[in-house]
Amino acid sequence: MPLRDRGMSSHRDQLFLLMVNLVALILHSTGSRSPNSKLAETLHRPIRSLTFPEESTLGIFVALAIPLEDPYKSISIADFFEATYDLPTNVTDEYLWLSDGRRRKRRSLDRVTLYQVIESKFDNYGYQGHECLLRAICETSEHSLLRHNGLIGDILHVIFTPTSSRHELLPQDILQAEVVGRNGSCSEYRPQCPVGLFDLIGVLG
């Protein structure tokens, strides 16, 4: 073997022995602890949580604008709904650890309240709120088109289908309106309410 190759081989052997000694020294310094546990401790990261400044809230704003037929002006009727939720300011907030059942009890909006809001909106426009709500529920059950009209259709279907959520203490005439629509006839509700849900949004047109 040439002298140069023999010298390079000697350097490699010395480097290998040095690495072995370093590994042995590290293992000895850790005592009885295994290298895997030391590695796990080094790589361990505490669980991180996202908190928000004091009085932070999350708002959901939904607006619906219905254009009116006017050859000279651009006019529309607009209405909106808004929901606001408080955000956690620390990881020990009680709400984060509530069970699903207790969280449902803390919700401020249920179907009864929602229907009261819808009835008041109809009343504000000069219609009979309760009768128009019954017609909307009946027509939603009668026509399945809302289920095939994207996100807005899904939202309207859930709102105006009482049986789409958990059972609530709703008036019997509201539940009956869904049954009547499922049987395919909502004509009995039209005399009391001249405007229907499908007339407003124009899905059937």
- pLDDT tens, position by position, 153-186: 777 888 888 888 777 788 899 999 999 988 878 8
What pLDDT does residue 203 have?
A: 42
Locate the domains of the chain by residue range.
Answer: 38-99, 111-204
- Tell me the two tokens of residue 27: 């293992």
134: number of CA atoms within 13 Å, CB side?
Answer: 25
User: What does the DSSP 8-state code read for residue 72?
Assistant: S
How far from 147 is each of 140, 144, 161, 182, CA to CA, in Å? 10, 6, 11, 14
Nearest to 180 by CA among 197, 162, 199: 162
Q: Which residue has the tokens 């399945």?
A: 144
What pLDDT does residue 184 have?
A: 79
Nearest to 142 by CA among 180, 181, 179, 176: 181
Is the whole-model pTM more than 0.85? no
